[in-house]
A and B are shown apart, each in its own frame.
Chain A
Amino acid sequence: MNTKEMRIDILRMALAAKSQGAHLGGSLSMVEIMAALYGSVMKLDPGNMENKYRDRLVISKGHGVMAQYVALKQLGLLTEEQLLTYKSNNTAVNAHPSVNAALGIEFAGGSLGQGLSLGVGLALALRCKGNAASRVFVVLGDGECDEGSVWEAAMSASHYALNNIVTIVDRNGLQYDGPTEDILALADLEAKWKSFGWNAVTVNGHDVDALVNALSARPGRPLAIVAETVKGKGVSFMEHAAQWHNGVVTQRIFDQAMAELEAES
C-alpha cells in the first residue's frame, strides 16, 4: 500500500471536514499498521468483504478510522469522492466507524475499551464454528488501555487460549490531554500484555515490514504487538503534538502539510 498517498488522503479528508476538525494524530500514527494489515497480512477478498473465511478487523480506537478509510480506498472499496464526504451528514465515512459489512467494518466504534471484547467474541465464535482459517485483528490505542474493560478482555483471551486473535496497540504515547505517562502511566505495555498471558512483542510501528513480520507469527496463544509510533506521523508540526489529537485543518495548514508529505521520498 502507498502510505504516502494514505497520509495525503487523510489530510484531504481533514480539510474537507473544515471547522469540524479531524482526529489527525491517531489516524496518522496508524497508517503503517493499516498498510501492513490490509496490504499484506489480512486474508480478504476486496470483491467480497463478507467472505466467511476473511480475517476480521476491529478498529477499537474508533477515532483513528480515517486510516482505515484510506486503506479501503487503496483496495478500491472507497473512492476519493466518498472520502471527501468525511464528517458530512449521513456519510458512510463517519468520524467514528459505523457497521458496514460490505466494507468489512465489523463493528461501530467511538466508545473506547470495547473492541477487544468484541474481538474475543469473534474469535470464540470462529473457533466454535471450526473456522481455523480466519484470524481476528483488533487495533487499540495506547490511551485506550486506560479502560479497565480492555484488561477484562485481555484476561479472557488468554483464559480461553485463543490462538486466533491479535491485538495491535498503537503506542503513540499521547492521549487527548497529553503524554500517556503523565495522564495515567502505562509503563511497560509489552510486560503488561505478557503478564496477562499474551505473547507480546514491541516493534517499530512505522516499519511495514517489521509489522508484517510480527503479525505473521502464530504463537499458539493470543498475540499482542506494541507498535511504537509517532502521533501525527508525517507532518512535522503535528508530530508528538497532543493538540493535533483532534484539530482543524485550514487551507494554509493543509498546504504546509502537503508540501511536507509530497516532498517525502
Chain B
Amino acid sequence: MIDFTSTNIRLWSRLGSCGAFGQAALSLPETKEKTVILTADVCNFSGLDRFRASYPDRVYNVGIAEQNMIGIAAGMAREGFTPFATTYAAFATMRCADQIKLCMGYMNLPVKLVGLSAGFSVGILGPTHMSLEDVAFMRALPNVVILSPADCTATVKAALAAAQLAAPVYLRLTGSMNNPIIYKEDFEFEVGKAIELRAGDDIAIIATGSMVLHALKAAELLEQEGLFAEVLDMHTVTPLDMEAVEKACAKNLIVTVEEHSVIGGMGGAVAEALALKPSRPPHLLLGARGAYPHAGDYPFLLEYSGLTAPQIAGRIFETYKELF
C-alpha cells in the first residue's frame, strides 16, 4: 500500500510529477493485479526504474514508436489488462491522435494514457516539447476521462483513481521537479468533483494542474487589494464538475487558469458549459495564447505567458476594475 506520510509527500514533491507517477505505479499491481506499463523510450524519465525492477514482466518499452504503443495498450486492454502508456504529453497525444481516437474514443478501451511534462515544463527543449494543445484534442473525444492533478500528492491520487476507472483516461502531468506541495496529507480525490481550496465572495478562480498553486498565490495578492477570490482545483477536466461551475456563477467574475492554450482547454470546457445560461458572470480565460514562445526555462515561459501569480492577480485585478 502506498502511504501518504509527510516523508513520502515531500519525496514525491522533490521528484516532480513524473517521478511521483513512478512511485504511484509501484503500488498499482497491488490494487489492480493486471496493471502493465508501456513507455516510448522514456522509462527512466517516467520514474519507472523501480517499477521495472519489481515487475520486469509488466513493463514494455516500445521504443520511439508512440502510435504502436497506443495500439499495443489497446490490445492488452481488450484482454482485460489495465495498461498505462507514458511519454511526453505532446507525443503521447498529438503524435498518435488517430490511434487514440480509434482505441480510446471509439472503442472505449480503458487505456490509461499518461502525458508527461505537459505545458511548459520541458519548454527549454523548444515548442516541439511544449504541450499546449493536448487537452483540446483529448476533450473532443467521447468516453475519455481527463485528470489534471495540481501537485505530486494529487498525481499519486489521480494515478490510483485512473487504475480503478473502467473508462479510458488521460492523465495530464504538469509542473517541474521540486513541485510545490498543495496537499500536505492524504485527501479525498473524487473523479469529477472539484476541490475548493480557498473561499472568497467576489471572484471564482477555477484552476487546473500546475496553475492551482499560482491561483492560490494570486488570490492572496488580490486579497491585499481588497478582492476576495475563491480557488477551485478542477482536477478533472472531463467530466467537468457542473455543480461547482454553477456555484461559481454566484460570484461577480469567473476566471479559469491553465497551463494550456486558452482554446479548447479547461477554460473552454467551463465556457461551453455556461454558454446557454442567460445570466452568468463574465469569464476571463487565462492560459497560453498566440505564437509559440521561444525555448526557455519554466519560470521564463510562465512569465512570457502571463501565468505567474503576480501576473494572474494583475490580469484579474485589471479586468475586475474595468467591469465593475
Interface residues of A, Cβ cutoff 8 Å to B: 99, 106-108, 111, 113-114, 116-126, 128-129, 148-149, 152-153, 155-156, 159-160
Contacts and interface: CB of A to CB of B under 8 A. Distances in A.
Contact of B102 (A111, A129, A152, A159): A111
A149 B71 CA distance: 9
Interface in B82-125: 83, 98-99, 101-103, 106-107
A257 B26 CA distance: 61
Contact of A114 (B63, B71, B78): B71
A156 B62 contact: yes
A31 B67 CA distance: 30
B76 A121 contact: yes
A153 B71 contact: yes
Contacts of A148: 67
Contacts of A129: 79
Given A117-B75, A125-B78, 5 more contacts: A111-B101, A117-B72, A121-B72, A149-B65, A156-B72
Contact of A117 (B63, B67, B79, B81): B67
Contact of B79 (A116, A126, A155): A126
B188 interface: no
Contacts of B65: 149, 152, 155-156
- Which 10 residue pairs are nearest across A and B when measured between Cβ atoms? A121-B75, A117-B71, A125-B79, A152-B68, A152-B65, A121-B72, A149-B67, A122-B75, A118-B75, A125-B76
B73 interface: yes
Nearest to B83: A121
B74 interface: yes
A118 B78 contact: yes
A120 B107 contact: no
A5 to B, nearest CB: 31
Nearest to B68: A152
Contacts of B99: 114, 117, 149
A119 B75 contact: yes
B107 A99 contact: yes
Contacts of A128: 36, 57-58, 76, 81
10 contacts: A107-B107, A116-B71, A117-B75, A120-B72, A120-B75, A124-B72, A125-B75, A125-B78, A126-B79, A129-B79
A108 B74 contact: no
B74 A121 contact: yes
B68 A125 contact: no
B39 to A, nearest CB: 13
